[in-house]
Amino acid sequence: IVMTQTPLSSPVTPGQPASISCRSSQSLVHSDGNTYLSWLQQRPGQPPRLLIYKISKRLSGVPDRFSGTGAGTDFTLKISRVEAEDVGVYYCMQATQFPLTFGGGTKVEI
């Protein structure tokens, strides 16, 4: 399954919203009814950090300004009000079937 993210880069202004799109080459609905689409953030020099799983479930400790929506093949990560600490690269990932695949990444910069 090919994961395509847009945009490649997103200049943002602190306090303003930001949105990242992720599209899969086929439906991510698993035979068990779940959709295994997650979003990760990677700050410079750091390992990735999980933000959102199963489309919209926020991991404990993740600020509520991050939200995930979507279904089937189209998904979106939204940051309601960007903060300076949100700078980094964001990846979507599908785990509905092997091989697991990541999107190419979206760089969020102030």
Partner 1 sequence: EVQLAESGGGLVQPGGSLRLSCTASGFSFSDFWMSWVRQAPGKGLEWVASLNQDGSGKYYVDSVKGRFTISRDNAKNSLYLQMNSLRAEDTAIFYCATDVVGGWAFDSWGQGALVTVSS
Give contact residues for partner 1 (rule: CB under 8 A).
Answer: 34, 36, 38, 40, 42, 47-50, 53-54, 57, 59, 89, 91, 93, 95-96, 98-105
Residues 98 and 27: their CA atoms lie apart, in Å, by: 14
Tell the smallest beta-carbon distance from residue 38 to partner 1 (Å).
Answer: 4
52-81 burial, b if ≥16 CB within 10 A, otherwise e?
Answer: bbebbebeeebeeebbbebeebebbbebee
Give the nearer residue to partner 1 in terms of CB position, either 15 or 47.
Answer: 47
Give the nearer residue to partner 1 in terms of CB position, either 16 or 54.
Answer: 54
Residues 97 and 89: their CA atoms lie apart, in Å, by: 24
Give the nearer residue to partner 1 in terms of CB position, either 21 or 105.
Answer: 105
Tell the smallest beta-carbon distance from residue 83 to partner 1 (Å).
Answer: 22
Residue of 3, 14, 1, 72 whose CA lies nearest to 40: 3
Tell the smallest beta-carbon distance from residue 68 to partner 1 (Å).
Answer: 11
